[in-house]
Amino acid sequence: MEPTEIIGPCRLYLGDCRDVLPTLSGIDAVVTDPPYGITFESGWTGSSIKSDEDTSVRDEALRLANAPAAVVFGSPKLPPVESAITTLVWHRPGSGMGDLTFPWKPDYEHIYIVGRGFSHERRGPSVLVHPWDVFRGDALHPHQKPIRLMMSLIERCPGHTVLDPFMGSGTTGVACVRLGRKFIGIEIDPDYFATACRRIREAVNADRSSLFPAFSEATK
């Protein structure tokens, strides 16, 4: 299957990852935040996100990707990735605020580490502290992750080509561009796909401009 967009070192596909993944090869690591599988509708900027498939889509995507390593976000309310060798915790200060009906919300997420080959030098702590930006109104997706968090995880991954089968707004791709990694992203929602393309294109252009200042002037 041909990519929908090719932007610098990034190949981006608009479609269902279960259709795209069997056509791919050469994936060194999966870094992704899959649908958590709980049905809900969000009033966040009028968007709606629904999923009734528990963790089956996540598990099928990991199987089809057949990568030697994976970093997978998850909820403690759902089954973990069975093949995980360890679990990290992302602590997100400021996200534990609730409302009158549910005054406490978790201010952490699990991150499942699958496979071997992760960098010993860059393993770091098991609790990663990065603020969550969604409450400040600058997030483009209700489950958007901080770029620095994703960079810290990708830096630990083996190989060079990173796949995100649930690309969302493209944060994993932006992190890969900043780190000089190749990226393959798949997103089923056309609006989020367009957002991811825009963000990744901006990241690629910024990277080129930093390396070749004359390029920046020539493309204005």
**Which domains can be identified in the chain, with CATH numbers?**
5-218 (3.40.50.150)
pLDDT tens digits for range 52-66: 457 899 999 999 999
> SS in 3 state form for 116-184?
CCCCCCCCCCCEEECCCCHHHCCCCCCCCCCHHHHHHHHCCCCCCEEEECCCCCCHHHHHHHHHCCEEE
Strand-pair partners of 186: 13
**Residue 219: both structure tokens together:** 């493309």
pTM: 0.83
pLDDT above 70 (res 91)? yes
- Residues of the chain with pLDDT > 70, as a percent, come to 75
Q: ∠23-25-26 over CA atoms, to 5°?
A: 160
